[in-house]
A and B are shown apart, each in its own frame.
Chain A
């Protein structure tokens, strides 16, 4: 560390060693300790400006600005509950399977018996004056 470099550091970064370049900080502080009077002259001038700079405060953002910005963010669409979707799918699949099983059972029954089961005659095919329409077909 040279006097010139120490002066450059203080001129650029101010009097607070925490703001000095990390890789030169220890050397600069060592030089200042070894040359107290010269260092203090540089540091005093810089510290005065540091005090001024520290007087400038920017007010924190207000709640309205924060809300406007948060409101500008894209929103995730609420996802449908996964379990409801699963249940509805399972219900459709179950009904389909039951229908298929019932159909297969009926077909297998007709094939095995080869007879059409007697059907109950609907009332609209009969009258109070005669038998069923099936009787007339034999006349």
Chain B
């Protein structure tokens, strides 16, 4: 897990060498980069958008931009992983604005508290309830939580990526978790805990 201290620019970017090879259009490097980054990009886009197909479109668009930038990438200006997250999030926000979802910090909607129909589907149902609760969060709270919890970014990397201070990031995280807890409590957070 890379939670803190792995975002220092003084360290060698772990993707730099691979990116140089991609810039030389090395087919093996292209495959390696896709295998390394596609799951992360797909995860962040899926959680931000709540829609798998849209998330796949976003991931593909990010890679189109990677191919364009690979030959011009200069190590030290930004970590490559941070940059691709910024590109992915910008594309996600474009789509959220297209849906007229306010990327601000408003209050979330209620999550459907209906219990799962079948015990065998419990794990899937729990995941779906979390996804619904995440989708109902204000976009900035969702972004903060997705970057730090699911993408396992350090607080300094996530704050820099979002263009906020670490204090502001922590405030977004605390509000995100409170909102999620309130929504999931309605759908049985305590009693469904396994």
Chain A: CB-nearest residue to B194 = A51
Residues of chain B within 8 A (CB-CB) of A20 are 3-4
Residues of chain B within 8 A (CB-CB) of A49 are 177, 180-181, 184, 189
Q: Say how far A94's CB is from chain B's closest CB, in angstroms.
A: 35
Chain B residue total in the interface (Cβ 8 A) = 54
Chain B interface, DSSP helix/strand/loop, else mixed: helix
Chain A: CB-nearest residue to B4 = A22
Chain A interface, DSSP helix/strand/loop, else mixed: helix
- In the complex, the answer to whether A55 meets B126 with C-beta atoms within 8 Å is yes
Residues of chain B within 8 A (CB-CB) of A75 are 25, 27
Given A65-B38, A65-B59, A72-B60: A52 in contact with B26 (beta carbons within 8 A): no
Q: Say how far B50's CB is from chain A's closest CB, in angstroms.
A: 11
Q: Does B123 belong to the interface (CB within 8 Å)?
A: yes
A106 to B153, CA, bound (A): 82
- In the complex, the answer to whether A53 meets B67 with C-beta atoms within 8 Å is no
- Chain B interface residues (CB < 8 Å from chain A): 1, 3-5, 22, 24-27, 30-31, 34-35, 38-39, 42-43, 46-47, 52, 56, 59-60, 63-64, 67, 123, 126-127, 129-131, 134, 145, 148-150, 154-155, 166, 169-171, 173-174, 177-178, 180-181, 184, 189-190, 193-194
- Chain A interface residues (CB < 8 Å from chain B): 8, 11-14, 18-23, 25, 45-46, 48-49, 51-53, 55-61, 65-66, 68-70, 72-76
